[in-house]
Amino acid sequence: MKRLIQHGLMFGNLFHVASPALVERYNRALKHLTGKTTALTDFHVDISGFSPEIGDDLGDDHYLNHAGVNRQFILLSTEQKRCPLLHVKFSTSRDILRRFIEVNERQLFALTATDAVAGELVNSVFEVSSPAKLFDIRQVRIEADTTRGTLRHADHLAELVEQFKTGEDAWFDDDLIEKMIATAEQTGDVTRNPVHLEHEVFEQGNFWTAHFGGLYVFQDVGHPAVIASGAKPEGVPLKHVFDLSERNAIARFLEVNRLAEPVIRARGVDGAAILRQKMGFLAVSVLTEKGRDLTGLSRSDLRRMAARHADELPAEFEGLAALVRWADGGGSWPRITSDHPAYFYSLRASDTPCRDLVNMLLAELCPHDFRQMFICHKEEFYRQYRGWPETKKAYAAEFLAREYAVDKAGARQALFGHEPDMEGRMPKLPRSQRQGLVERVGPWGAVNRVRGR
């Protein structure tokens, strides 16, 4: 994994904690949440305040998420909203934390100027010993305060102020006035500068979880289902439970709920160009798995190598080629059903509230497209990367660092048409710029640009 770390593809875009003041605040929050501290004076944290260096120092990568359900967090800066979430257990967690920071950004900016904010994503369960318990998690709320209890004291001061304003003879109550003065020394003047966080309740209807081998839970759609990456879970309160081998059932599920659409007919993207890229990734994936070194090959070289080894390429390659021939006007419409290996490669998520979750599922159903897997399902990408041959690892890391990482938002927009960036914004690109980017973010275009051909 060192190659990914060196290219900034793993543990990248984290918040750097190096000043003694921030380290001291972090340790105060860490002690408050876990009873532990770290001797490190320089480390990086994700959006939740988890640090891979501290995880190594403590010998516990789950020191802020022990049961994998109610994730704790430490905020040192509102800049953490731009960071990724590491060791993801629920696909909704990062978005919930980001929205919490954005809704309370002004207040959190003031609070983190002098202290750390520590808290927890609180579900309605404390452990998930069985798959059925996942369905008890319908809402997630956030509990947070500074390590000195600023918010708790502010709420208490607000109650005292209200009592002072409305209570009979409160003006002459010396004990009440002394309590107000003592509490105000900890919080400041809450009448002029209110200290309050909006603790929004977040619905969790459709989500992915790493528990039980990986499960996609779709319960807030017209036709609910659970899709398992591994063995089917037992005892879940839904009628339809599939595993990834049940392609017809998954295809039908996506169709009846209108969760996916053919790339070739999607609005806002150059479908034929994207399918050509997928063909390239298929060829690269298979050839590198067979140990062939593709470093430095030009676009023409890659295509010639793919042609020479056509008998080694998977059926997905020819299926996508048939779709491209139809799009270019040189072939008949190919009948590619869900039984065909190319079927899920030809889809992308529709523009629905489930789009990120569906693109995540499609990435797992299309294992040869390592670019989509890296964008949409990093946990699965890292898991599969560990088992790849060195030639494939080298090519994938170099390609992603050179072509995807330099313009993440633009690449998502070009490929998916409605993919938000790390801050949840929807990027807008002119059609001419979008088409040019599509040509650049595929394996052929990437090599072409580097070689100047």
User: Residue 351: helix, strand or coil by DSSP?
Assistant: coil
Q: Give yes or no: residues 22 and 128 share one domain.
A: yes
Residue 232 included in any domain = no
Q: How far apart are CA 156 and CA 137, in angstroms?
A: 31
List of residues 6+ apart from 32 with CB closer than 8 A: 118, 147
Tokens, residue 30? 């860490």
Quick: pLDDT tens for 213-252: 999 999 999 999 999 999 999 999 999 999 999 999 999 9
Residue 84 has pLDDT above 90, yes or no: yes
At residue 139, the pLDDT reads: 87
Q: Give yes or no: residues 362 and 255 share one domain.
A: yes
CB 262 within 8 A of CB 403: no
Tokens, residue 324? 């491209």
Residue 139 included in any domain = yes
Kindly report the pTM of this predicted structure.
Answer: 0.82
Q: How far apart are CA 215 and CA 176, in angstroms?
A: 55
Quick: pLDDT tens for 314-373: 888 888 888 888 887 766 777 888 999 999 999 999 989 999 999 999 999 999 999 899
At residue 398, the pLDDT reads: 85
Q: How far apart are CA 235 and CA 231, in angstroms?
A: 13
Tokens, residue 203? 């619905």
At residue 429, the pLDDT reads: 45
Q: How far apart are CA 241 and CA 249, in angstroms?
A: 9
Per-residue pLDDT band for 78 (boundaries 50, 70, 90) equals very high
Quick: pLDDT tens for 99-133: 999 999 988 888 888 889 999 999 878 888 999 99
CB 46 within 8 A of CB 80: yes
Residue 176 included in any domain = yes
Per-residue pLDDT band for 55 (boundaries 50, 70, 90) equals very high
CB 74 within 8 A of CB 32: no
Q: What is the CA radius of gyration of the chain?
A: 26
At residue 201, the pLDDT reads: 82
Residue 265 included in any domain = yes
At residue 405, the pLDDT reads: 63
Q: Give the whole-number percent of the chain exceeding pLDDT 70.
A: 77
Q: Give yes or no: residues 41 and 179 share one domain.
A: yes
- Tokens 């994994």 sit at which residue? 1
CB 389 within 8 A of CB 291: yes
Q: Among 37-41, 199-203, 359-363, which stretch is predicted with the lowest mean pLDDT?
A: 199-203
Q: Give yes or no: residues 269 and 395 share one domain.
A: yes
At residue 308, the pLDDT reads: 81
Neighbour count for residue 366 (Cβ, 10 Å) = 23
Q: How far apart are CA 321 and CA 334, in angstroms?
A: 10
Per-residue pLDDT band for 426 (boundaries 50, 70, 90) equals very low
Residue 143 included in any domain = yes
Nearest to 281 by CA among 345, 201, 217: 345
Residue 345 included in any domain = yes
End-to-end CA distance of the chain: 32
Q: How far apart are CA 268 and CA 357, in angstroms?
A: 20
Q: Give yes or no: residues 182 and 259 share one domain.
A: no
Stretch 192-211: mean pLDDT, rounded?
Answer: 78
Stretch 189-212: mean pLDDT, rounded?
Answer: 75
Q: Give yes or no: residues 52 and 128 share one domain.
A: yes
- Between 90 and 146, the higher pLDDT residue: 90
Nearest to 204 by CA among 330, 95, 338: 95
Quick: pLDDT tens for 146-194: 888 777 656 555 665 666 667 776 666 677 666 656 666 666 544 444 4
- Tokens 């037992």 sit at which residue? 234
Q: Give yes or no: residues 195 and 269 share one domain.
A: no
CB 362 within 8 A of CB 369: no
Rounded to the nearest angstrom, the gap between the alpha carbon of residue 191 and the centroid of all alpha carbons in its chain is: 39
> Domain count of the chain?
2
Nearest to 392 by CA among 288, 287, 309, 268: 288
Q: Number of C-alpha atoms within 13 angstroms, CB side, residue 182?
A: 7
Q: Give yes or no: residues 286 and 406 share one domain.
A: yes
CB 214 within 8 A of CB 229: yes
Per-residue pLDDT band for 422 (boundaries 50, 70, 90) equals very low
Q: Where are the beta strands (DSSP E) in 308-388?
A: 347-349
CB 290 within 8 A of CB 390: no
Q: Give yes or no: residues 196 and 255 share one domain.
A: no
Quick: pLDDT tens for 245-295: 999 999 999 999 999 998 887 666 677 888 888 888 888 888 888 877 777
Rounded to the nearest angstrom, the gap between the alpha carbon of residue 33 and the centroid of all alpha carbons in its chain is: 24
List of residues 6+ apart from 401 with CB closer than 8 A: 7, 8, 9
Q: Give yes or no: residues 44 and 104 share one domain.
A: yes
Residue 317 included in any domain = yes
CB 151 within 8 A of CB 145: yes
Q: Give yes or no: residues 279 and 410 share one domain.
A: yes
Nearest to 215 by CA among 396, 357, 359, 411: 357
- Between 407 and 422, the higher pLDDT residue: 407
Q: How far apart are CA 66 and CA 59, in angstroms?
A: 13
Residue 433 has pLDDT above 80, yes or no: no
Q: How far apart are CA 388 and CA 368, in angstroms?
A: 11
Domain range for 5 is 1-203
Q: How far apart are CA 234 and CA 194, in angstroms?
A: 49
Residue 438 has pLDDT above 70, yes or no: no
Q: Give yes or no: residues 42 and 180 share one domain.
A: yes
- Between 384 and 265, the higher pLDDT residue: 384
Residue 29 included in any domain = yes
Q: Which of 73-77, 259-263, 438-442 has the highest mean pLDDT?
A: 73-77
At residue 279, the pLDDT reads: 86
